Structure 1
Amino acid sequence: MFLSRGLFNVGTTIVKILNMGECISVRVFLMFLALISYLIALTFNILALFGPWTGAFMQTTQYVLSKSTTHLTPDRWVLFLWDVLNIWLIGMFIYLIHNLRRREAYTWMYTTPAVLPYGFYLSWIVNSVLNMAWLFLYDKDFCVCHRKMVPTLLITALQAISNCVIIMFSCYGLVVYGAWLHKYHNNDLWLIRILVQNGVALYATWWAVATFLHLTVVLDHQTPIPKTDAAIMVLVLLQLGLIGWFVIENWYLDKHVRYILTVYPVVILVLAASVANPATPGTHIDIMSAVILAITSVIFIVRIVMVLWKHKNKPFYGEEELMSPVDIARTQKLIFM
């Protein structure tokens, strides 16, 4: 119901935009290009589920996954996160396109303030291209022979990095325009935090975890390292990465990422699915995974408590005099506009 109504509003907005010449701009073009690239990538992801029947892929995604099982491979039920992720991101695009028909005292809302700069949409387009490249490489090379696993691993890591770049641009936009949004459009401030920042963070964490899982496969098939040792190595790296991120987000990047909370739930669910996977042999790896799962859960609870405390006792915005969005935009470099 929500999606059908949202898609109808998107269609209505597109028609209105086409009838308003002053609304057409590079930003609108990039926004729709980002949406189209995302929908194309999503379509190929769906086609990959059906494999040879589509004519585009040699095997189904499930078959490929079954051929690359490691001690850390999660159970299939965790794939519901992919559905949640796509619904979240579609909701984000519906919100962004809806803003195209909203007008402020200065000009159109999507241009002033341009909370999501050009770099946000350009990074999104690059990410969608990487997603499609990963699908075809994973299908045609990865599962036929294990010679192409390193390029697949690199593309997986690049997807995670490109998502981090997308988050960076969204965080920068809120640092620049957050005080103005807080005063005049507080609902939009929270919608950007929830739909954009947390949605992309969910996406980025998914691919970051996928990078660790791919690394396990590479270590299993292309190095003499025993599979158990490879799994332990990857789990240690994952735990160190989580602890490092916890320190960075709370003490160094707080003003940028304070309200991003979707990182730890993804890791928790993937670790839980890894422990619960009946296809992986029961070893002490499961015990280690369970310990890291418990530590991550505690970190997540502490993170929520810290965010709530800081929100009440250390708010970002006061009653200082604000520059207009037009004046702020004049101080920004092109990629951040």
Structure 2
Amino acid sequence: MCHRSSLLNSAVLCHLLTVRLFEGVGCKGVWFLVPVLRLPAPDRAARLVWCCGCCLPDAAVAACQMLLQTLELPLKKAILPMLNQPARIVNCGRRKSKSSFSEDTLKRSELGCVYIKPDLLPIPFYVVWILNNGLNVGWLFLWDWEYLLPALVFLAALTLTTYAALFISHRALSIYSSCFVKGHKAELWLIRILVQNGLALYATWTTIATLLNFAVVLIYKWNVSNETATTASLSILALYLVIWFYLENFFFDKYVCYNLTIYPVVIIALAGSAHKNFSLSSSKTNSIFIVVLLAVTCLIFAVRLGIVTWRHCKRLEAAETLDASGTVA
């Protein structure tokens, strides 16, 4: 009877050991065996029973000892080579606390964890972005079904929501930029390059798409000539570029000082249109308009790059002067 009970307990233990070995993702389930193998021989069975989460009688403990003696060498050969660093072996039996995980892994600012505080992408940003994607899907269906005027309305609303998301991002960054300048410059530049310049690129592209959709509506819904509709769209684009260049350099430079993806998008769009439509043999008014607008855009972009570079150097000099004065004081 006792022998049968020992066999039964050994079977139960083997089952629990197998479950522990292969549960979880990858080989995470085997790490609890490492501290067991590093214990003195008399304590291994008790620790293994504790790891399995059950209370077995003394016969099962004896079975554990026999089982460990049998599996000790294969387990050490299988598990211990997977640990490259001794420190990992020592700590593998102890789960990190929440505070130690935050201190070791997560970057922190004066307001808390960087990915939470400061809130550079607040809830209104995500609401606007969800609305933007919904309008994008709706525009695709309306354009495919050739509902030109509703498609124009959806595309114009999509463009406005993109500008709204860009405004929310710039406003949030202007409020909390001081937190990033002190110790998180990498995150600051990632927000500027990936988020804000990405949104600016998207907004410019949707603006051009809206103007193209507007020209299509003029031609096919309101019977306006192709030449007139194209001239109207190009004129609106030229006005947009002039107004934006004035605003970004004299009013919004504090917020959009590093937005540089607007002009390259316009240059690519105009270059593609000029390549397709311009011909020296039969140069039409709009073809000349496109080439002139392309040249002006390239000039504006070069001037903008010079202004941004000059102002950035001035900011760096001012920051160095401020740091030097603070150190002397």
More displaced 10-residue stretch of structure 1: 279-288 or 237-246: 279-288
**Aligned partners of 2:228, 2:141: CA distance in 1, in Å?**
30
Partner of 1:229: 228
Contact kept in structure 2, 1:182 and 1:317, CA below 8 Å: no
Deviations 1:57-106 (A, max 9, x none): xxxxxxxxxxxxxxxxxxxxxxxxxxxxxxxxxxxxxxxxxxxx734165
**Aligned partners of 2:295, 2:199: CA distance in 1, in Å?**
25
> Is 1:102 the equivalent of 2:101?
no
**Quick one: higher RCO (CA 8 Å, sep 6+), 1 or 2?**
1
Q: Which amino acid aligns with 1:266?
A: V
**Aligned partners of 2:190, 2:315: CA distance in 1, in Å?**
21
What's the Cα RMSD here?
A: 2.3
Q: Secondary structure at the match of 1:255?
A: helix
Q: Which amino acid aligns with 1:246?
A: F
Q: Which amino acid aligns with 1:161?
A: L
**Aligned partners of 1:222, 1:139: CA distance in 2, in Å?**
16
Contact kept in structure 2, 1:275 and 1:286, CA below 8 Å: yes
Deviations 1:194-233 (A, max 9, x none): 0000001101111000011111111111224221111111
Q: Which amino acid aligns with 1:218?
A: V
Q: Which amino acid aligns with 2:313?
A: K
- The 5-angstrom pairing of residues 137-152 of structure 1 reads 137-140=142-145, 142=146, 148-152=147-151
Which of these residues, 105, 120, 125, is aligned with residue 120 of structure 1?
125
Partner of 1:299: 300
Contact kept in structure 2, 1:255 and 1:316, CA below 8 Å: no
- The 5-angstrom pairing of residues 287-326 of structure 1 reads 287-314=288-315, 318=319
Change in Cα spacing, 1:220 to 1:315, as seen in structure 2 (3 Å) is farther
**Aligned partners of 2:286, 2:166: CA distance in 1, in Å?**
33
Q: Which amino acid aligns with 2:218?
A: L
> By how many angstroms is 1:119 displaced?
1.4
> Is 1:245 the equivalent of 2:249?
no
In the TM superposition, structure 1's runs of 4+ consecutive aligned residues that sit over 4 Å from their partners are: 278-282, 314-320
Q: Secondary structure at the match of 1:261?
A: coil
Give the gaps of 5 or more residues in structure 2.
Answer: 1-24, 26-104, 324-329
> By how many angstroms is 1:170 displaced?
0.9
Q: Which amino acid aligns with 1:284?
A: T
More displaced 10-residue stretch of structure 1: 129-138 or 280-289: 280-289
Contact kept in structure 1, 2:215 and 2:230, CA below 8 Å: yes
Partner of 1:129: 134
TM-score when scaled to structure 1? Answer: 0.60
**Aligned partners of 2:307, 2:248: CA distance in 1, in Å?**
11
Contact kept in structure 1, 2:278 and 2:288, CA below 8 Å: no
Contact kept in structure 1, 2:278 and 2:287, CA below 8 Å: no
Q: Secondary structure at the match of 1:277?
A: helix
Deviations 1:262-304 (A, max 9, x none): 0011111101111112699962211110000000110011011
Identity in percent? 38
**Aligned partners of 1:191, 1:219: CA distance in 2, in Å?**
41
**Aligned partners of 2:298, 2:277: CA distance in 1, in Å?**
22
**Aligned partners of 2:166, 2:159: CA distance in 1, in Å?**
11
Contact kept in structure 1, 2:106 and 2:113, CA below 8 Å: yes
Contact kept in structure 1, 2:277 and 2:287, CA below 8 Å: no
More displaced 10-residue stretch of structure 1: 220-229 or 153-162: 220-229
Deviations 1:34-66 (A, max 9, x none): xxxxxxxxxxxxxxxxxxxxxxxxxxxxxxxxx
More displaced 10-residue stretch of structure 1: 310-319 or 154-163: 310-319
Q: Which amino acid aligns with 1:104?
A: R
- The 5-angstrom pairing of residues 1-337 of structure 1 reads 102-104=106-108, 106-140=111-145, 142=146, 148-277=147-276, 283-314=284-315, 318=319
**Aligned partners of 1:279, 1:136: CA distance in 2, in Å?**
32
